[in-house]
Amino acid sequence: MTDNIKLIGKDGLRLDGRKADELRPIKIQAGVLDNADGSAYLEWGNNKVLVAVYGPREAQPKYLQNPAKAIVQVTYNMAAFSSDERVRPGPNRRATEISKITAEALENVILTNQFPRASIDVYIEVIEADAGTRCAGLTAASVAVADAGIPMMNMVSSCAAGKIDGQIVLDLGKKEDNFGQADLPIGLVARTGEIVLLQMDGHLTQDEFKTALKMAMEACKHIHGLQQEALRSRYAVNFADMDDGEAEQ
C-alpha cells in the first residue's frame, strides 16, 4: 500500500464515482450448480465468484475425522484468467490464508457438532478479481452453505472498509487497495453482531479503526439482506404458477 496517486477527487467522489460510504453493486444468486449440494454465484462490482458446497459427507482421509464434530474445509482459488496479470494456477500462501480464515469464519455459524466425523467442503472459485475477493467469497459461501441445507445459526456477511487519501471509505476497489493506506475486511454475523473475521493491512489510528469498523459492520447488515433475498428467490414457491390441484396438496 503506497499513496502516490489521487484516489478522491475535488468533488469528494472516488475514482469510480462512489461516495465514501458507498458499496459497489452486489448481485447474489443461490443454487446455480446442479452437481453440488449447495451453490451460489455472486457479482460484486467487477468481482465474480462461484461457490460450490458438498456435504456433510464422511471426511476423507479418515485421520481428518473429528469424532465430536464436522470439519469445514475451504478451498479458495483464483482462476488463471481472473486478473489482468495471469494468476499462477495451484495453491499459494495467499490462497491458503484466505481458505483458512474463511473456514474459521464459517465454523462459527455451522452446527458442526450435529455431524461427527463428517466434512463440509466449500470450493470458492474467483472468476474475476477486482479487490475484496475474500469478502465476496465468504459472503457467497454462506449463501451456498445455506442452500445446501446445512444447519447453521446465521449466515456470515462480509465487507471491508479502509483508508485512501487519508479518508475512511467502504469497500475498496483494486486501485484503492493497491494505492490506499489501509484495508480492514470483516465477517459479521449480522443478527448477533458477532465478528468472525477481522484482518487489517496497513495502518489506522484507533479512531480511524473504530470508524472503519462501524462502516463495514453497517454494510454487512445491508449485505445480509441481499443474502436472505437470494435464498428467498431460490426457494419461494410461486403459487400463482400452480394449478388448483397442486396448490392444495
Binding site for ligand UDP (CB under 6 A): 78, 83, 85, 87, 94, 129-134, 174, 177
**CA dist., res. 138 & res. 49, Å (int):** 10
Phi first, then psi, for residue 202 (nearest 5°) are 95, -160
CB of 162 to ligand UDP, least distance (A): 10
CB of 130 to ligand UDP, least distance (A): 5
Grid coordinates in use for 5?
Answer: 496517486
CB of 147 to ligand UDP, least distance (A): 22
In the bound state with ligand UDP, the residue whose beta carbon lies nearer, of 14 and 174, is 174
In the bound state with ligand UDP, the residue whose beta carbon lies nearer, of 52 and 172, is 172
In the bound state with ligand UDP, the residue whose beta carbon lies nearer, of 38 and 187, is 187
In the bound state with ligand UDP, the residue whose beta carbon lies nearer, of 76 and 115, is 76
Grid coordinates in use for 147?
Answer: 442452500
In the bound state with ligand UDP, the residue whose beta carbon lies nearer, of 145 and 159, is 159
**CA dist., res. 64 & res. 69, Å (int):** 11
CB of 185 to ligand UDP, least distance (A): 6
CB contact at 8 A, 124 and 42: no
Residue type, 129: A
**CA dist., res. 42 & res. 31, Å (int):** 11
CB of 62 to ligand UDP, least distance (A): 33
In the bound state with ligand UDP, the residue whose beta carbon lies nearer, of 38 and 185, is 185
CB of 139 to ligand UDP, least distance (A): 11
For residue 237, count CB atoms less than 10 angstroms from its CB and return exposed for 0-12, middle for 13-18, buried for 19 or more.
exposed
SS3 of residue 164 by DSSP: strand
CB contact at 8 A, 72 and 120: yes
